[in-house]
Structure 1
Amino acid sequence: MEKLFRLKEQGTTVRREIIAGITTFLTMAYIVFVNPSILINVIPGATPGSSLYTQFFGAFMVATIIGSFIATMIMGLYANYPFALAPGMGLNAYFAFTVCLKMGIDWRVALAAVFVEGIIFIVLTITGARSFVVKAIPASVKLATGAGIGLFIAFIGLKSAGIVVSDPATFVSLGHLSDPNVLVAIIGFFIIAALFAMRIPGAIMIGILASTLIGALPIFGVTKYQGIVGKVPSIAPTFMKMDFNLQALGSATFWMVVFTFFFVDFFDTVGTLTGLAESTGFTKNGEFPRASKAYLADAVGTSVGAMFGTSTVTTYIESSAGIAEGGRTGLTAVTVAVLMLLMLFFSPLAMTVPAAATAPALIFVGVLMMKSLKKIDWDDVTEAIPAFITLLMMPLTYSIANGIALGIVTYPIVKLLSGKGKQIHWFTWILAILFVLYLVLLRE
């Protein structure tokens, strides 16, 4: 154990690492319930209660767990860091609601895009090109992307709960606050907010379970009990279902989707890993030891996750909860991975959780993702405008890709017209031109 994780060198113990792992697991276990509830939307005819719904929901749950387990194990055993990984919030919504439902891309082709994105990430990490890509993308766009995704998934949560509804005159409007689903979601949101404010580990997870119990009360009746423990669902419906058909691979839309998955995954990982490393004192001169191994864990996890049937796997900021408990080595990550694997036996509980109980989690995670906005220089209009466009257009166009594209296109134009053309990286110009071509000529 000592030789594998170097516990004494990091000033920690086995007990402390295991406690840290349990803490991190509690803060991120909600993804086991939330991710399948989002991905199930890509399966035509999968209505709650149907055999098709049960079959695919279970498969997506298993894919979520296996993808998280493998990626987190690699992080713990190979990179020896206390960071946990799982399918990313925001990217799962982009996968389901934008790529599959809005753009009409089959979910199997979308999984192929996720797999390809992971391979690109692996190549960039191995070749050392990661640093170049980081420098080429405008900082304001990178920072606004995280917050924009937060707005996007919060909007999805509000829509899922019925708090926000469509309106022919104003596009969107406030739903009926007396609706049982709306009431359960609102109560759940405040439960999560209160628990999080009191720094109680697993606030989101507890909030989801509490909302599920509240939804089971006769006055609400939104929770349909399916059980708690059961046999492990079959992974067959989603395992190795990636579709690499030539028509898809030859379309600009497919590669736009690949780029969007990569962009968000890459910079979310860079930001999260850097932030977590800094909080633990691992960084030296802006970098941290074994950085390439940590990035590889994320990249490999993405491609492996796609093979099993889940959207992009990424490093979770919730890892900071375990770090705060003293987690300093890969043993923390290994603990998370083992606990995640045990969730395979709780598929009936996952199917019991209604949309009204997962919606508060989406909204609250959206709140947490707003913090990146404080790092943007709002006093510099050439930085503020691209950031604002990126932030605004994600929820309004129901697309993370559109927000990123419009933000990157806006950045060099505003800089050039303001006499700050020298601040523009040459690769940013190439990306901007490609995005203009895509948005004007190629976007379906």
Structure 2
Amino acid sequence: MLEKLFHLKEHGTDVRTEIIAGITTFMTMAYILAVNPNILAEAGMDRGAVFTATALAAFIATCLMAMWSNYPFVLAPGMGLNAYFAYTVVIGMGYTWKMALAAVFVEGIVFILLSLINVREAIFNAIPMNLKHAVSVGIGLFIAFIGLQNAKIVVDSSTLVGIFSFKDSLEKETFSSEGITVLLALIGIMITAVLLVKNVKGNILWGILITWGLGILCQLTGIYQITPDAGFYSLLPDFSQGISIPSLAPTFFKMDFSKVFTLDFIVIMFAFLFVDMFDTLGTLIGVASKADLLDKDGKLPKIKGALMSDAVGTSIGAALGTSTTTTFVESAAGVAEGGRTGLTSIVAAVLFGISLFLSPIFLAIPAFATAPALVVVGFLMMTSITKIDFEDYTEAIPCFICMIAMPFMYSISEGISLGIISYVLVNVIGGRAKEKKISMVMYILAILFLLKYVLI
């Protein structure tokens, strides 16, 4: 039956290989179950409900990917997109998380329409490849910066940001709470880095678990002190309520569409749309290339099914109560293990489903344990910088602007906007526009982003 459903022999694989690949992909991206609730909780959302929404969104969207495309790609609420949701839209711009969820839901609907009429492929093809790589690098820097902040390694200072002072922590007698967590986060980053160097499968997840384990050891030995008033809670899973699935009620279909026809809402929705577009298409092309799934023209067969699963998953995820659902680059880990069909995706989806019953474990994982994951994921995303052509300044300068704008301006959308605007302007003013064959789509996008800065 599995052969009939997934055409394993045709793709040069077997059931055992696909199962191992699915488990590997899940292990490399299961950190999202711990990280996503932490990030969206910063926006005022219920962590338990977000955990359930995250697992369900991953399960549903990944099953759709398997059924509609038969590709070994796994989906879940995306990193970077959740940061944009919480830190830019809600905290930075002052929108409620209910309005942000509405924007994600509408984005998914628009994505479905764009996927049906092939607009997403057209936009993707219009953006220069160097700028696509720069978006990935910028998001990586932004995520790493957030990880350092969440771990309190980077703190506010007279120079806007500074490094945590262990000396001050000892003098203020906060080392047993704040200081030790910073130290554990730093140790966790080093541990995860070593696991990455050693090519250990699931290195990011293992980094989280080991860092968390060290924290529990510190709590049991009295080195770490629980101080709820300061935001430092017990690191031990609370099974006092038994094994149960956290209720979706606090977030289920809590979207606020009251501002759906305002310019601000449209801008936010478009930002989600644009970021998700590059995230998904870039991941699909990159992972598909590694799996030798691209045809002789460099195109991905059945890409419409893959894009549709992402789009439908996004709207379903928003209805459940989580940020944009997207294809994870960690799918490459399963591909490296030999995964070539949708069976890999189904295995990972089932594991996400099982994780629903283990919520006390994932919800007990503290921010200092997930911070190393954010830093290392940031590093992995930044490796795309090697693909940028720095010899051509008309390419390199816009890419540089795009990359630094994201962490410095604490906004992914600003980096994308400024990257596109600067690319068009530098090439037009520098007399290279004809040579570069800049598409009409790029000109339209540049004008729209300029209008955004003028009108908003």
Which bracket does the TM-score occupy, shorter chain normalised?
over 0.9
Distance apart, 1:137 and its partner CA: 2.4
Deviation, 1:436, is 1.5
1:85 maps to what in 2? 75
1:281 to 288, 292, 302: 292
Q: Which runs of 5 or more structure 1 residues have no equivalent in the other structure?
A: 47-55
Q: What aligned pairs does 1:300-319 form with structure 2 within 5 A after superposition?
A: 300-319=312-331
Q: Distance in 2 between matches of 1:79 and 1:371?
A: 28
Q: Secondary structure at the match of 2:9?
A: coil
Quick check: 372-381 or 91-100, which moved more? 372-381
Matching residue's letter, 1:82: P
Map 1:163-312 onto structure 2 (within 5 A). Answer: 163-167=153-157, 169-177=158-166, 179-216=179-216, 217=218, 218-221=222-225, 223-227=234-238, 230-245=243-258, 248-284=259-295, 285-312=297-324
Using the TM superposition, give the Cα deviation of residue 20 of structure 1 relative to its aligned residue in structure 2, in angstroms.
1.1
The answer to whether the Cα contact below 8 Å between 1:64 and 1:310 also exists between their aligned partners in 2 is yes
SS at match of 1:42: coil
Amino acid at match of 1:28: M
Inter-partner Cα distance in structure 2 for 1:360 and 1:332 = 27
Determine if contact 2:6/2:70 at 8 Å carries over to the other structure: yes
Checking the alignment, whether the CA contact within 8 Å between 1:231 and 1:345 is kept in structure 2 is yes
Distance 1:124 1:385 in 2: 30
Aligned to 1:53: none
TM-score by length of 1: 0.93
Alignment RMSD, CA only? 1.4
Rounded to whole Å, the distance in 1 between the matches of 2:48 and 2:447 is 43
- Letter of the 2:186 partner, please give it: I
2:112 aligned with 1:129:
no
Amino acid at match of 1:434: L
Per the TM alignment, residue 258 of structure 1 is displaced from its structure 2 partner at its CA by 1.3
Distance in 2 (CA, whole Å) between partners of 1:289 and 1:426 is 26
Please state how far the C-alpha of 1:199 moved relative to its aligned partner: 1.2
Deviations 1:27-69 (A, max 9, x none): 11111000000001111xx7xxxxxxxxx11100000000000
Work out the CA distance in 2 between the residues paired with 1:116 and 1:165: 35
How far off is 1:85 after superposition? 0.7
Structure 1 vs Structure 2: percent identity of aligned residues?
Answer: 52
Shift of 1:227: 3.2
Q: Where does residue 23 of structure 2 map in the other structure? A: 22
**By how many angstroms is 1:200 displaced?**
1.1
Q: Tell me how far apart the structure 2 counterparts of residues 253 and 400 of structure 1 sit (CA, whole Å).
A: 16
**Equivalent residue of 2:253, what SS?**
coil
The equivalent residue for 2:449 is 435
CA deviation profile, 1:75-130 (whole Å, cap 9, x unmatched): 11221111111111111011001100010011111011111111222111111222
Conservation of the 8 A alpha-carbon contact between 1:100 and 1:106? yes
> Amino acid of the residue matched to residue 187 of structure 2?
I
Deviation of 1:410 (Å):
0.9
Q: Deviations over 1:341-369 (max 9, x none)?
A: 10011111122111111111111111111
Residue by residue over 1:170-212, the C-alpha shift from the partner in whole angstroms, topping out at 9 and shown as x without a partner, is 1111112461121010011111111111111111111111111
Task: Summarize deviations over 1:7-43 as a string: whole Å, max 9, x none.
Answer: 1211221122111111111111111000000001111
Give the letter for the 1:333 counterpart: S
By how many angstroms is 1:139 displaced? 2.9
Q: Does 1:340 align with 2:352?
A: yes
Deviates more, 1:305-314 or 1:414-423: 414-423
Q: Which residue in the other structure is 2:107 paired with? A: 117
Aligned counterparts of 2:61 and 2:395: Cα–Cα separation in 1: 35
- Note the C-alpha offset of 1:251: 2.5
Segments of structure 2 that go 5 or more residues without pairing to the other structure are: 170-178, 226-231
2:410 matches 1:398: yes
Distance in 1, Cα, partners of 2:416 & 2:392: 19
How far apart, CA to CA, are the structure 1 residues paired with 2:450 and 2:335?
Answer: 43
Does residue 5 of the first structure (1) align with residue 6 of the second (2)? yes
1:319 and 1:410 mapped to 2: Cα distance?
Answer: 32
Tell me the alpha carbon deviations over residues 121-160 of structure 1, each in whole angstroms, 9 at most, x when there is no partner.
2111111222321133233332211111111111111111
Q: After TM superposition, what 4+ stretches of structure 1 lie above 4 angstroms from structure 2?
A: none
